[in-house]
Amino acid sequence: MKCRKCDNKAVINMRQHKLALCSHHYLSWLPEKTEHFITKYKMFDRADRILVAVSGGKDSLVLWDVLQQLGYEADGLYIDLGIDGEYAYSEESKRYSDEFANSNNLKLIVAEVTKMEGASILKAASLTHRGKDKPCSICGLTKRHIMNRVGFEGNYDVLVTGHNLDDEAALLFGNALNWQVGYLARQGPVLDGNPNGFIKRAKPFCRFYERETAAYSLLRGIDYIYEECPSAVGAKSIYFKEILNQMEMDRPGTKLQFYLAFLRAKENGAFTSDPGLIETPLRKCDSCGQPTSSPDECAYCRMWGRVRERMEAN
C-alpha cells in the first residue's frame, strides 16, 4: 500500500480515517492533528506553562515529544508510586522518564510517594479496606492529588496527561454502564480549573488510537516501558478495553464514533441537568491546603492518615 501523500510505502493504515501514510508523512500528521485538537478544545496556547504527567509509558512520552516539536513549553512530572512486583515497575518507569528528559534537556519533577507519605502504594493498599481488592483506587486518588498539588503550587497553567482514545472509550464505557452522570459530565478533552485550587486539565491525545501513538513512538525511536502495571491485571478498565477492541475489529471506527457522539451529546447539554453538578462549595483541607468539599480533611489526607495509624498500630 502506498502513502496517500507521496509514492513511498505506507507504514500505517488508519482504516477509520481511510488514510495510509509513509513514515515521513505519519511523523508530521500526528503533531499536526495534535495541534488541531489543542486549538479546537481550547486546551492551552504557547504562552501557557504546561506540566505533562509522565508515566514512562508511550503515550505520555510521545506527548511530551510532540509538545516540544510544536513549540510548547512543558515540564514533566513523574510520580513514583513505589510499585515493585515481579519487576521493578516504578523504578523502570522512572528510568525511561529520566532518560527521555535528559536526552531532550527537559525538566522532570519527581514526586516520591514513599518519601512523602511514609509508605508505598502497595503497602498502603494492604493496610486499608479501600485497597483490599486492588491498589488502583488508592493509586488513582494519590496520582490525581499529587498532579493537582504540584501543578497548582508550581503555578502551571495546565496539567496534561497522555490518555488516548482507547483509555477514554473504556472510561466512557464504564461510566455509561453505570450511568454515572456526574462522571460523564466531567469527562472530556478539557476540564477547566478553579481558582480555589484545581488546575485545568487537558488530554491532547484523546482522539488518537493507542496503535497510533505506539506507531509514532516506534518511528521516532522513543523508548518506553512496555509492561503494564503489575497490579492492573484483572482491572475493569482492561476488560472494557478488550470488549471495545473486539467491536473495533468487526467495525473499524467504533471507538472513535462512540467517543465523538458522546462529546456531541455533552455539547448539546445531555448531562447538565444532573443535581450532582451543582457546585459544592470548596474549602481548604485542614492538613494539605488543597481544595475539598469535606468539612475537615480531603479524601487524600484522610486515606493516608488511616494508613499511618495502621502502620503505627502494627
Q: Is 215 in the site for ligand FES (CB under 6 A)?
A: no
**Contact map string, positions 244 to 283, toward ligand FES, x by CB under 6 A:** ----------------------------------------
Those residues whose C-beta lies under 8 Å from the C-beta of residue 278, and which sit 6 or more positions away, are: none
Instruction: Supply 291's cell numbers.
Output: 481544595
**What's the burial of 263, exposed, middle or buried (CB within 10 Å: 0-12/13-18/19+)?**
middle
If residue 28 lies in a helix (H) or strand (E), which one and from where to where? helix 23-40
Candidates 11, 14, 20, 22: give the one binding Zn ion (CB under 5 A).
22
- Strand, coil or helix: 287: coil
Residue 215's binding partner, choosing from ligand AMP, Zn ion, ligand FES, none, with beta-carbon cut-off 5 to 8 A by kind?
Answer: none
Q: With DSSP H G I counted as helix, E B as strand and the rest as coil, what are the percentages for the chain, rounded to 5?
A: 50, 10, 35
Q: Which does 123 bind (CB under 5 to 8 A by kind): Zn ion, ligand AMP, ligand FES, none?
A: none
The radius of gyration of the chain from alpha carbons, rounded to an integer in Å, stands at 20
Of these, 161, 187, 290, 292, which contacts ligand AMP (CB under 6 A)?
A: 161
At position 272, the amino acid (one-letter code) is T
Residue closer to ligand FES by CB (options 135, 188) is 135
Q: Collapse the DSSP code of 259 into the 3-class scheme (helix H, G, I; strand E, B; otherwise coil) and give the result.
A: helix
Site for ligand AMP in 15-54 (CB under 6 A): 53-54
Region near Zn ion per CB under 5 A, out of 25-33, 112-120, 246-254, 274-282: 25-33
Interacting residue ranges for ligand AMP, rule: CB under 6 A: 53-55, 57, 59-60, 77-79, 81, 143, 161-163, 167
